[in-house]
């Protein structure tokens, strides 16, 4: 179930173009950093052929082709400088970063504007006479956004040209939009402001619903919803975004080591880190295993593994991995035994029964059929302490 009480009010508000919360999130940052910290001092420009957008680029284009980053602003603000420090920092490391909205523009944006940015970059790369002629790597495209801009990024993440998605302090508002998660096939990363971030509950809800096998990273930094975009060079969010883009768009495995493995560079720092299906050489989208024929004999069995994703004073988020045994499953049911005082407030990727003590979670219509050895998962949010929770699985 999508948890909407707090997040819906927060993110729904930022969609209203004239709401004061939009103006706060979309305001142009003061004292914008000049150049960024990368080897290619960067600034922004506009183009008559890409109206209502702001283009951040190295002032002197490097010899290497520029990967593309298209960006949706907080509040879906049409001010392309809303996260200017952050985007200039990205560009200074050899990226072409295009934000929705003109510099200091007003009003609101749409997800289609992200697609327009990709279209423009591809056209400029092939247009003789363009400063970008044959200087853009059109095979490497990241779509990303902050808050309401993250919702815009979700909306176009299935564009076949997109090679990775970045969701910054954002999450889908309604369960009806979960189809956008199920159609994801390319690596995705979440950068969220911790449990005080109004987007945190829905970002975690989305995390629990990602397709099995999808390479995914979740990083939480306890700074709240506003992030660090207005700080010099975008602050810590800018630093980490550059590392992620270097890994995903340029194949820099040194940068990638910050996100992969139990000893990753962001692990055991101020970031709270979660990982799914990550390897340093993961450069291709996951594929769905081909159907397998179950053995002629053997009863369907499954295993369930309970893991805490986040625990705070008074609550927790957990994930339960379900794996089929030596025979295919047409369905599964997990029995959870919770410690005294713990209750379940919401479940995703499963159908829950009960809230405390011994509860059961059955498969949804889309994740019940598993080939032998195939895995899926569901998640839930609870109150109290999760310590001592046990999980058992029954297959059918």
Residue 125 and residue 91 share a domain: yes
pLDDT of residue 262: 92
Q: Are residues 262 and 308 in the same domain?
A: no
Q: Which of 258, 276, 294 is the last residue of a domain?
A: 276
User: How many domains does the chain fold into?
Assistant: 2
Nearest alpha-carbon partner for 148 in 27, 51, 238, 22: 22
pTM, full prediction: 0.67
Read off the DSSP letter of residue 308.
E
Residues 233 and 348 in one domain: no
Residue 16: Cβ within 10 Å count = 14
Same-domain check for residues 169 and 247 = yes
Which residue segment(s) compose the domain that 312 sits in?
302-395
What's the CATH code of the domain at 354? Answer: 2.60.40.290
Nearest Cα neighbor of 114 from 53, 167, 166, 56 is: 53
325 within some domain: yes
Residue whose C-alpha is closest to residue 351's, from 338, 343, 360: 360
Task: Please report the sign of the dihedral spanned by the C-alpha atoms of residue 151, residue 153, residue 156, residue 157.
Answer: negative
Place of tokens 């450069």: 283
- For 208-235, b/e burial (b = at least 16 CB within 10 A) is bbbbbbbbbbbbbbebbbbbbbbbebbb
Does residue 146 lie in a domain region? Answer: yes
Domain limit, last residue, from 226, 242, 276? 276
Q: How far is CA 24 from the centre of its chain?
A: 23
Residue 288 in any domain: the answer is no
Q: How many residues does the chain have?
A: 396
Closest by CA to 193, choosing from 240, 245, 261, 151, is 240
- Beta pairing class for 358-363 and 332-337: antiparallel
Q: Does residue 72 lie within any of the structural domains?
A: yes
Task: Give me 175's structure tokens.
Answer: 């369960």
- Of 44-48, 59-63, 206-210, 364-368, the one with minimum mean pLDDT is 364-368
Any residues with CB less than 8 A from the CB of 162 and at least 6 apart, and which?
Answer: 118, 141, 142, 143, 156, 186
* CATH number, position 29: 3.40.50.1820
Same domain, 215 and 352: no
CB atoms within 10 A of CB 283: 12
- pLDDT tens digits, one per residue of 123-173: 999 999 999 999 999 999 999 999 999 999 999 999 999 999 999 999 999
**How much of the chain, in percent, has pLDDT values that exceed 70?**
87
Q: Are residues 53 and 16 in the same domain?
A: yes
Residue 355 lies in a domain: yes
113 and 213 in one domain?
yes
| Whether the predicted pLDDT of 295 surpasses 80 | no
Alpha helices in 193-272 (DSSP H): 200-208, 235-250, 253-256
The token duo for 299 is 């009863």
Tens digits of per-residue pLDDT, 90-127?
999 999 999 999 999 999 999 999 999 999 999 999 99
Do 237 and 374 lie in one domain? The reply is no
| Residue 272, both tokens | 């709270």
Q: What is the pLDDT of residue 1?
A: 53
pLDDT tens digit sequence for 369-387: 888 888 888 888 888 888 8
What does each C-alpha distance from 312 to 203, 207, 251, 318, 382 come to in angstroms? 16, 18, 35, 12, 10
Top-confidence residue, 266 or 285:
266
| CA neighbours closer than 13 Å in the CB half-sphere of residue 24 | 10
């Amino acid at each position: 179930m999508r948890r909407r009480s707090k997040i819906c009010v927060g993110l729904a508000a930022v969609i209203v173009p004239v709401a004061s919360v939009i103006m706060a999130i979309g305001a142009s940052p003061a004292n914008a950093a000049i150049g960024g910290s990368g080897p290619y001092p960067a600034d922004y420009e506009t183009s008559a052929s890409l109206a209502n957008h702001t283009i951040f680029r190295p002032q002197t284009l490097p010899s290497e082709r520029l990967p593309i980053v298209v960006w949706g602003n907080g509040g879906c603000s049409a001010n392309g400088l809303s996260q200017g420090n952050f985007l200039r920092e990205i560009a200074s490391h050899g990226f072409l970063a295009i934000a929705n909205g003109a510099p200091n523009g007003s009003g609101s944006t749409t997800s289609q504007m992200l697609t327009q940015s990709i279209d423009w970059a591809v056209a400029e790369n092939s247009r003789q006479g363009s400063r970008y002629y044959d200087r853009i790597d059109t095979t490497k495209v990241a779509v990303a956004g902050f808050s309401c801009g993250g919702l815009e990024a979700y909306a176009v993440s299935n564009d076949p040209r997109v090679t990775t998605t970045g969701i910054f302090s954002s999450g889908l508002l309604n369960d009806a939009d979960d189809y956008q998660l199920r159609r994801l096939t390319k690596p995705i990363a979440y950068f969220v402001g911790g449990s005080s971030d109004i987007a945190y509950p829905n970002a975690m809800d989305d995390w629990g619903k990602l397709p099995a096998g999808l390479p995914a990273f979740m990083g939480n930094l306890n700074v709240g919803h506003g992030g660090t975009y207005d700080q010099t060079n975008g602050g810590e969010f800018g630093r980490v975004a550059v590392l992620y883009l270097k890994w995903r768009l340029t194949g820099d495995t040194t940068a990638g080591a910050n996100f992969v493995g139990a000893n990753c560079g962001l692990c055991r720092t101020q970031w709270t880190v979660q990982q799914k299906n990550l390897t340093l050489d993961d450069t291709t989208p996951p594929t769905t295993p081909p159907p397998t024929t179950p053995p002629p004999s053997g009863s369907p069995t499954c295993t369930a593994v309970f893991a805490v994703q986040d625990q705070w004073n008074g609550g927790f988020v957990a994930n339960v991995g379900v794996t089929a045994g030596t025979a295919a499953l047409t369905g599964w049911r997990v029995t959870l035994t919770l410690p005294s005082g713990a209750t379940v407030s919401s479940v995703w990727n499963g159908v829950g029964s009960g809230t405390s003590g011994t509860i059961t979670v059955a498969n949804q219509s889309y994740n019940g059929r598993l080939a032998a050895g195939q895995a899926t998962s569901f998640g839930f949010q609870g109150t109290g302490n999760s310590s001592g929770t046990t999980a058992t699985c029954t297959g059918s």
